[in-house]
A = this chain, B = another copy of it.
Amino acid sequence: MTNYQIDVQLSKNKKEKPAFDQLSFGTVFTDHMFILDYTEGKGWHDARIVPYQPITLDPAAIIFHYGQTVFEGLKAYVTKEDEIVLFRPDQNMKRLNRSNSRLCMPELDEDLAIAGLKKLISIDKEWVPNVAGTSLYIRPFVIATEPYLGVAPSKKYRFMIILSPVGAYYKEGINPVKIAVEQDYVRAVAGGTGNAKTAGNYAGALKAQEAADKEGYAQVLWLDGKEKKYIEEVGSMNVFFKINGEVVTPALNGSILEGITRKSVIELLNHWNIPVVEKKISMEDIFRAYNDGLLEEAFGTGTAAVISPIGELFWQGEKLVINNGETGALAKRIYDSLTGIQTGVAEDPFGWRMKVE
């Protein structure tokens, strides 16, 4: 890997670290952050690590008006050998660039982004929590910073990485959730931005989440925007079903996010010789399988929860209770294997772990 010039300005006022056994999600940030600026004509410049601090932007900056922004989410873990490891960061940086392209934003040097991330983590290494189930959540993001109210791609951007120690997603072990199938709101449609990791997808999804919450459901299952028949995602995760011994997941269609956990689950199942198929799946297919007693498991996949078993699906007045509302054996096996690889407890036959020096 190239030896990148990354300036470092260390914090003089180190913050107090939270108790690692009492962490929540995304509220506490480490002592430093990584910054890289872009100016049209000059390209990306001034890679640097500085104390974590507020950003100062013109009120007319394009990010505040036209949402030209992309982001990623990944995690770092401490192994039992006290090494800090990342899970497939190359995949995140590749996807960040695909998102950049969709949003008319300049692509980054993926290796520089990873070099910056590693250096940042090594500086803030005491912030990587070492309690079972905890991790260091990593948020790389790019924002359009040019002050301009015309609707056009920005001529200036800022790429940043911030870090947040996060608690175990499952405080009392992996636990199934109840999901409502969304009938009114739509997350994304082919030709839109659904397969890019960009702010607008998340802002638009809040309203459905709020309605589901009121009815006692943890998340919504999104159907396609065209016919409201085909399954897309669950909350902000990809979704898998085990039907009669075969695992199925919606095929990537332009409106579904290409999840890195999704990809890893497919690769893991292939490795285990468990049949897994990516295809168009209607909610009617799922209901039919359920009625026939063939719907064995359902689970979401994403960076935050890794695997999130679905205990109940609510659809058109019907409650589909899956696997007696309990975590399925396959979901558990995938969860244990993936978190085992991520935290260094298990072998890594795929080369998914990347060491932070």
Contacts and interface: CB of A to CB of B under 8 A. Distances in A.
Given A25-B150, A189-B189, A203-B193, A54 B64 contact: no
Interface string A209-227: 1100000000000000111
B204 A192 contact: yes
B56 A33 contact: no
A199 B191 contact: no
Given A190-B186, A200-B200, A200-B201, A104 B225 contact: no
A266 to B, nearest CB: 24
Interface stretch (A67-75, A119-127, A319-327, A349-357): A67-75
B203 A199 contact: yes
Nearest to A200: B200
A52 interface: yes
A160 interface: yes
Contact of A102 (B60, B162, B207): B207
A308 to B, nearest CB: 14
A104 B203 CA distance: 9
A153, A191, A209 — which one has the most chain B CB atoms within 10 A of its CB? Answer: A191
A136 to B, nearest CB: 12
Interface stretch (A137-145, A241-249, A279-287, A328-336): A137-145
A157 interface: no
A210 B203 CA distance: 24
Contact of A210 (B104, B149, B204): B104
B150 A26 contact: yes
A191 B227 CA distance: 12
B69 A206 contact: no
A137 B152 contact: no
Contacts of A192: 185-189, 192, 204, 225
Given A151-B205, A191-B186, A236-B151, A55 B59 contact: yes
Contacts of A104: 206-207, 210
A149 B200 contact: no
Contact of A63 (B29, B60, B63, B148): B63
Interface of A: 25-27, 29, 33, 52, 54-60, 63-69, 71, 102-104, 137, 139, 141, 143, 147-153, 160, 162, 164, 184-193, 198-207, 209-210, 225-228, 235-236
Q: Which are the 7 A-B pairs with shortest beta-carbon distances?
A: A200-B200, A67-B199, A26-B149, A186-B191, A66-B202, A67-B203, A189-B189
